[in-house]
Amino acid sequence: MRTLYYEEPVLFLLDQNRLPQEIKYVECHTADEVAAAIKNMAVRGAPLIGVSAAFGLFLAVKSYTGSASGLRDYYQEKRKLLASTRPTAVNLFWALKRMDKVFASQGQSDKEKLEAVLLKEAYIMLQEDIEVNRAIGENGRGLLNDNCRIMTICNAGALATCGYGTALGVVRSAARYGKLQLVWACETRPVLQGARLTIWELMHDQIPVRLITDNMAGFVMQKGLVDAVIVGADRIAGNGDTANKIGTYSLAVLASYHGLPFYVAAPYSSIDVGIGSGKEIPIEERDPNEVRQFRGTYSTVAEVDVYNPAFDITPHQLIAGIITEKGVIKPPFAGRL
């Protein structure tokens, strides 16, 4: 299942808000449409957000109809729009910066040539992401014992990337080599990325998986049914503090209490060495109705006040290793990342 692909003149983005009930793609002709898809979480997962935004900047230049002198300002306007969509995921800004370098390197090139080089760079990022994920999977596999039972939260799989996945990339590698017994997938409130996406993805690949609600994780660990916890990351600070989907910190605390290794699997582009700790990572707060209702149906009092942070910060002291395409980084992380 492709999460995105380009067929002249349209960028197709798999609408993950419709999964698992319906497979449908959002058709994007402009950067504004890509930004909307990222903002409303039709597109989600830090690596996929970054690559989608790269294609968005290509579409910005492609759809521009003004004078040559105004193209740079138009590009910056659309770049700012894309950058505003998801503030926590550092891959977004990493991808935009890569496209900026390509844009700047072309100087006064004609618009058609500029479109071509921007599209080429976006495709390079897409292919690199798949290769990086496979390397993460191979590097992480060596950390696991035979018949391993892995717990995860949210979706850090093929659906969150251009293919294969980060945390689920490790799962896939373990399954391919016969080392995996079971995946425990937390449902991931309030948008249910675990229940809707991780379950669908793993069952599609015939990888053994069992769904639990988020508040069952501690009990499952207490019963001795988990061997390791592996999660993805939206941003990793220079000291190893990690931002990931809300609920990740709770899993890390529970894993520590029960003596279980807690691993973060992420591409090197998710590491932001420019910030010293997780305190500096911006945490996105989303629409309160994501908590009040699900797909238009209220599960609580419609007027209730809601706090809805999309991410939390796991302190580096709780992380046993960060699995990247370059290898597994063990603590202490400061100076090694």
pLDDT in tens, 98-118: 999 999 998 767 899 999 999
- What is the structure's pLDDT at 309? 98
Closest by Cα among 267, 264, 281, 279 to 319? 264
The token duo for 300 is 């609580």
- What is the structure's pLDDT at 1? 77
Q: Tell me what percent of the residues of the chain surpass a pLDDT of 70.
A: 100
Strand positions, DSSP E, the chain? 4-7, 10-14, 25-28, 148-152, 180-186, 209-212, 228-231, 235-237, 242-245, 262-265, 271-272, 293-294, 297-298, 311-314, 321-324, 327-329
Distance CA 299, CA 293 (A): 5
Which tens digits make up the pLDDT trace of 193-221? Answer: 999 999 999 999 999 999 999 999 999 99
CATH number of the structural domain 137-329: 3.40.50.10470
- In terms of Cβ atoms closer than 10 Å to its own Cβ (0-12, 13-18, 19+), residue 258 is middle
**Three-state DSSP class for residue 95:** helix
Distance CA 207, CA 197 (A): 14
C-beta of residue 74 within 8 angstroms of C-beta of residue 60: yes
Q: Name, in order, each residue with C-beta under 8 angstroms of 141's C-beta and a sequence gap of 6 or more.
A: 170, 173, 174, 177, 179
Domain boundaries, the chain: 4-133, 137-329
Question: In the 8-state DSSP scheme, what is residue 197?
Answer: I
Instruction: Indicate which residue of 234, 241, 272, 312 is catalytic.
Output: 234
The token duo for 73 is 């300002």
Distance CA 8, CA 122 (A): 14
Query: How many Cα atoms occupy the beta-carbon half-sphere of 174 within 13 Å?
Result: 28
Q: Is 146 a catalytic residue?
A: no
- What is the structure's pLDDT at 245? 98
Domain 4-133: which topology? Answer: Four Helix Bundle (Hemerythrin (Met), subunit A) (1.20.120)
Which tens digits make up the pLDDT trace of 226-279? Answer: 999 999 999 999 999 999 999 999 999 999 999 999 999 999 999 999 999 999
Which CA distances in Å does 12 have to 7, 82, 320? 8, 17, 38
> What is the largest distance, in Å, between two alpha-carbon atoms of the chain?
67
- Which residue in the block uniquely carries the two structure tokens 């969509």? 85
Phi-psi region of 13 (alpha: psi -120 to 50; beta: other; left: phi over 0): beta
Question: In the 8-state DSSP scheme, what is residue 134?
Answer: H
**Which residue type, as a one-letter code, is found at position 278?**
G
The token duo for 234 is 């939206």
- What is the structure's pLDDT at 108? 65
Which tens digits make up the pLDDT trace of 132-172? Answer: 999 999 999 999 999 999 999 999 999 999 999 999 999 99
